[in-house]
Amino acid sequence: MGNTEKRHWVLNILIVITIIVVALAFTAHYKNWVKTEKEDLEILSGIYFVKIPYANMDSIEMVERIPSMERINGFSVKEREKGVFKEDSLSKNKVYVYVDKLSQPKIRLVYQDSLKIFLNMPDSTETVSMFQFLSNKIHPPKE
């Protein structure tokens, strides 16, 4: 009888650990974690992380739709689209997509001459604020 009690205890611990790992993975993928540092922009969404120095940013614009692309890896659920894509079969450049709401405008950021990111947040005002912040980093206002 003591042996089965030990197995139940180990199984219970394994179940709890599994639930914690799943909850952490869900939290990490649930939204885009965007951090603006002094010299760069950091974006984390689950296993997808990118760090872009402001000096390497070339252009920024708001777009209504993301173009049709080939998914390398990632996922889409309802209005969320996240992952790494290719624009076409000839292109070697990766396009990072961190879109929390497909129906809202997205920021299209080009950096290092040809690398692209599409980004938005669940709240459109947050997206507009981020767009204005990054626009000022790329094209500082003249004094």
What are the residue ranges spanned by the domains of the chain? Answer: 31-138
- Say what the pTM is: 0.77
- pLDDT band of 109, cuts 50, 70, 90: very high
CA distances from 98 to 7, 41, 114, 116, 134 (A): 43, 13, 17, 11, 16
Average pLDDT over residues 108-133: 91
- Residue whose structure tokens are 């296993």: 47
3-state SS assignment for residue 98: strand
Residue 126 pLDDT: 92
Which amino acid appears at position 112 of this protein? Q
Q: How confident is the model at residue 8 (pLDDT cuts 50, 70, 90)?
A: confident
Q: Express each pLDDT in 17-59 by its tens digit.
A: 999 998 887 777 677 788 888 899 998 887 788 899 999 999 9
The yes or no reply on domain 31-138 and CATH 2.30.29 is yes
Distance CA 13, CA 60 (A): 48
pLDDT at 1 over 80: no
pLDDT per position as a tens digit, 63-105: 999 988 888 988 888 888 888 998 877 777 889 999 989 999 9
pLDDT of residue 3: 59
Nearest to 133 by CA among 14, 19, 34, 30: 34
> In this model, does residue 110 exceed pLDDT 90?
yes
